[in-house]
Structure 1
Amino acid sequence: MQYISAIVPPLVMAIGFGFLVRAIIRTQGGDQKGKEDAAADALAAAAASAPRTAE
């Protein structure tokens, strides 16, 4: 039974990683692409216009 307890955590992590990759791929492009691009552009513009402090 030790082999089961040894294989379960990596198996669970592999399945979870597969779902994560699937979610990332499914959210790229499509109907959400314009909204994502607009949000990224807004963040870039905000970062560019933020005052910089010398450290």
Structure 2
Amino acid sequence: MLEGEGGGAHDAHLMRLGRACPSLDADLLFDPDEIQATYLLRDKVPPAKPRLDEEMS
């Protein structure tokens, strides 16, 4: 998280970035463990190279 910003501001920034650049590689913004956890919670197998729009939806 950016220093001095609350979680809500960080989430809003990620949402705007996801809309502007949906095919951006998710591993540029998320830790591999965060990506894995997202797919575990959804009972899905993660793709080899997840995109930002796949992580934020």
- Alignment TM-score, normalising by the size of structure 1: 0.30
- Alignment TM-score, normalising by the size of structure 2: 0.29
Higher share of residues assigned helix: 1
Q: Which has the larger radius of gyration?
A: 1
Report 1 or 2 for greater relative contact order, CA contacts < 8 Å, sequence distance ≥ 6: 2
